[in-house]
Chain A
């Protein structure tokens, strides 16, 4: 394999005239195994060829539904990850005489590591389980980690969603019951017009690439809305450069124009959304809520069909979906009791009235004519290029449909929309736009992926008060959930947060993925309380997944008056020597994706396709390196040691041999038949979704490309929010509790309820005084545009530019700089900007510059680019590294020339007048506002030659392989 500085035996002299290896004996023993890639969270199927036990070739698995044989730059570089010298191979304990961050460790045994953890966590669980916090990054096992936290009894659990794209999830799921991200996507196979907003690479990277190129080849028109033109935007037919953070304005103006021209799908709005439902406008505690019919139905977590329409034929209110009724979308009416009412759509019309293209042009920088033209393109394509698929289906109101209709305008959006503090409302606006065009779960539009669609909001709920956290007891409720009303919030009697990250509190009521980006700051400050043990899995919280990185690193190493660390104990489970590892007290070396079992479960985010549920597994293709142990095994061992109910038998002994055993035999409830994997359930593998444990489940997955793919009958594949067949099927297979329609929340009553509470009009829980106005403002039942929170508080004259990052396709966050091949493509990063910025600042392409925000400054090199909106500067995300991390040499480009934009971004907004600090996040969802930062760029002093800030070089850790001194020649196997 890697032979630093030496020539592998016989390879140099192999004659090129004999191209094809004659026999195995000459080339070594090769074998081929299927598993699932994890060079990123896309989860493509891969086929790994081994030669003499070493990884020789990783290719896409042609039989895999997701990537259909293709692979990306990262996936094809898996070899360099597997054999990277940055890999951790032994459990490590911080040397007691060293500071956190210095990375001085002693190797210890796993037994010792478990003993330390067991003792510590036992004590915490015995006293106050919430003093244990478990936060995880880009992992794909939230079902297990979340369950572990619940079993432990701590509410302090979340994965990366809060700092990633929760606005996307929440904004769309609270509107249409599904969302982009891993939950749904654009149907580019049938779309004719595709609008991509703020996406550089996406979670679903390979499938999206496959789909976009196919779409273009089929003659579809592709518009990209993005301040920067790279990657996907490069091949767009039209690039619409936009000022960061202003998409909400653009989307609202598009809605304005579509309504003005009548380019909306009236039928769709009436039948499948709450657009025609009458909103109560009588002052009082029902203001802004839908009017309900007299007979109150049993309510669950679904929308009972007990609302009213205004029928234009009888000119009277009727119960929605009454046969023969044709409701008005616009107008103003009075009920018999004189209650003034308006259809929700009318309120939307009034809302967008002032959001004209001219107004939006001013905000977004996109010319009004362009906005109008794009609106017309959308509306006309949706209306005139209708798709009729000859698929009969029945809706929940028992209407039979001969065909499935599609309006072939598809959208996709990701963090360019999400990662702003006004992202939730922008994304609501996008959901409404898609709804107006009639493109929800229809061919050529947006398509759900199982287990979506889900009720709005989904049923899962957290606890609602501190009493749900009790010593030695599992947590009541879920650690994460979907509040439907103020009473669902996870707050104490004063309305203050129960969770360390303040999720589900009045500060960020719908923070459905938590706020991982505030955990360290809150724990350090002891606000709302101090914790004991912070366990971080697969997240580089001392570097790129943290805002205000420099300060956070200080917090991690900060002590109180008594000399105790403010965060007393930090456990990090990582596979590599990341920046975060240096701050751990205890380091747990994880396996790589090629060394372990994993599941991409229906309980988490499976790899479902539009046509039905799909889940997948990973199986080891090479043995673990050194003493690496899968984190799953750690959790199962800890669960057994701590006697968490789900992990032990009634008698208190260990229940599961190991993780594979757990996966096969665990059921959500004894006999529920629901487990982590949906495929090949039942004794002989004859059942799916539900069924008894099957001891051969793993083998069956292995035999089937590590994927279970269930294709729904065609008539269940579309309109699933309202598709009777589908909903009943989903209920039968326990995907959902109710087979009730999931009408689009064009108008959000959920938000209105929070607003009413904030206005003191309800008996619901009330927000603390300091937050009333904030809730009342941002919990608007209709989307509206506001300047991002940080923009509201920054001197735009002082800091005239917006700074954003985007993902390079050939790098995954911070974790690929240890990859010898990938780092040659992105060894360091530049700040890209319009030449005009340089002209104004008197510097040239390639010069060193200072970039300053009101939070800090970095020095870096600049590059001029025409492909960027002139008010925006940008860089590739997470290329810069701390010196010595990832087992890179001290002089490595990543630390000397590379930089991290995170130093300029704050995790908190400037303190308010009352000294209270709020997270630099969306006020509705707690989504980290990465892309709100304002900066200025000035020429750096002469002689500048490295980036700022620099950090003390850390030394390689015990157990890490020595990095090859000067060169590397990888050749797999080769025992010829």
Chain B
């Protein structure tokens, strides 16, 4: 899940960056880009999305039946994600292909100066945003996972994915299309800062929120002092393995600071530095740092969620 959401997040963000870059370029300079950049970046984006998809398969008990998971689009955000993700992949691929075609006059010269890529990109953007929504809603819709059940989750998923995408785009641009580096870099910083705002907002919200479920509501016994003596099993169960992490609160705290550092200030500094010395390496480092930070962020996101079921699985005895 951690890998899935972060990988497709980058993939989606990268596409958004590309598409934004294309508009920027068209509006500001009418400049036609290096097709190589768009194509490479699109391929990368598609690659990331597919990698995410594959990662999610591994997490299934029965991957061979994965196709069934598209069935419940009416109710299940997971199902919707499963439907939207391939559409996004297809659209981004199409977008990349369009750029390829557009930048290769010898294939279909009549396509070259048209706005096809923008049209396709527009549709793909809608799809990408939908995908962000779907992915985030998978978590945000579980109302009793209070840390997740907030619109901030959608913002965070979207913004953090976008930020990492823009950062990656900055590094790519430095290599393939230096003229766009600054645009991407600036926006990478801006998106990262906005993401910081929403992420911090959600952290604050979560530390402040009061748990609605307590041992009292879980058991229906009204008394201040309730402790579990035994959970009826001693070798562990699905419920003790799936919803618990062995991390201590102190470790979680450290993890939080780590991701706050790696996702936000470190990449920003590196982007600024990379932009000023125009070195792909530094910009790549910015992305790598941010991605690692995002892995930590996602880990934290899952670990921080206190599942009410845990109330029932406190003590072996």
Contacts and interface: CB of A to CB of B under 8 A. Distances in A.
CB–CB under 8 A between A and B in the complex? yes
Interface of A: 824-828, 830, 832, 863, 865-867, 893
Contacts of B225: 866
Interface in B214-231: 225, 227, 229
21 contacts: A824-B233, A824-B234, A824-B235, A825-B232, A825-B233, A825-B234, A826-B234, A827-B234, A827-B235, A828-B234, A830-B317, A832-B317, A863-B229, A863-B315, A863-B317, A865-B229, A866-B225, A866-B227, A867-B229, A893-B234, A893-B235
B229 to A, nearest CB: 6
Q: Is the interface of B mostly helix, strand, loop or mixed?
A: loop
Contacts of A863: 229, 315, 317
Interface string B293-317: 0000000000000000000000101
Nearest to A892: B235
Contacts, number: 21
Given A827-B235, A863-B317, 10 more contacts: A824-B233, A824-B234, A824-B235, A825-B232, A825-B234, A828-B234, A832-B317, A863-B315, A865-B229, A866-B227
Contacts of B315: 863
Contacts of A827: 234-235
A832 B317 CA distance: 9
B179 to A, nearest CB: 59
A893 B227 CA distance: 24
A824 B315 CA distance: 14
Interface range on chain B (Cβ under 8 Å from partner)? under 10
A262 B235 CA distance: 56
Contacts of B227: 866
A639 to B, nearest CB: 45
Contacts of B229: 863, 865, 867
A248 B52 CA distance: 72
Nearest to B233: A824
Contacts of A832: 317
B289 to A, nearest CB: 39
A865 B232 CA distance: 16
A826 B316 CA distance: 10
A824 B235 CA distance: 6
A863 B233 CA distance: 15
B234 to A, nearest CB: 4
Contacts of A867: 229
Nearest to B225: A866
Interface centre among B232, B235, B315 (most CB of A within 10 A): B235
A912 B131 CA distance: 85
Interface in B99-134: none
Contacts of B233: 824-825
Contacts of B234: 824-828, 893
Contacts of A828: 234
A826 B234 CA distance: 6
A863 B227 CA distance: 12
- Pairs of residues from A and B, 9 with the lowest C-beta to C-beta distance, nearest first: A827-B234, A863-B317, A827-B235, A824-B233, A830-B317, A824-B235, A828-B234, A865-B229, A825-B232
Contacts of A830: 317
B313 to A, nearest CB: 14
Nearest to A864: B227
Contacts of B317: 830, 832, 863
B232 to A, nearest CB: 6
Interface in B60-80: none
A486 B225 CA distance: 57
B100 to A, nearest CB: 45
A830 B230 CA distance: 11
A893 B232 CA distance: 15
A812 B233 CA distance: 17
A950 B2 CA distance: 43
A417 B27 CA distance: 93
A825 B232 CA distance: 6
B133 to A, nearest CB: 33
B145 to A, nearest CB: 28
B290 to A, nearest CB: 40
A881 to B, nearest CB: 14
A352 to B, nearest CB: 38
Nearest to B317: A863
A778 to B, nearest CB: 39
A810 to B, nearest CB: 9
Interface string B228-247: 01001111000000000000
A595 to B, nearest CB: 29
A195 to B, nearest CB: 25
A828 B230 CA distance: 12
A825 B233 CA distance: 4
A893 B235 CA distance: 8
B240 to A, nearest CB: 12
A860 to B, nearest CB: 12
Contacts of A824: 233-235
A492 B140 CA distance: 86
A828 B227 CA distance: 20
B220 to A, nearest CB: 16
A169 to B, nearest CB: 33
Nearest to B237: A824
A847 B137 CA distance: 42
A885 B157 CA distance: 54
A228 to B, nearest CB: 11
Nearest to B62: A12
A832 B315 CA distance: 13
A828 B317 CA distance: 8
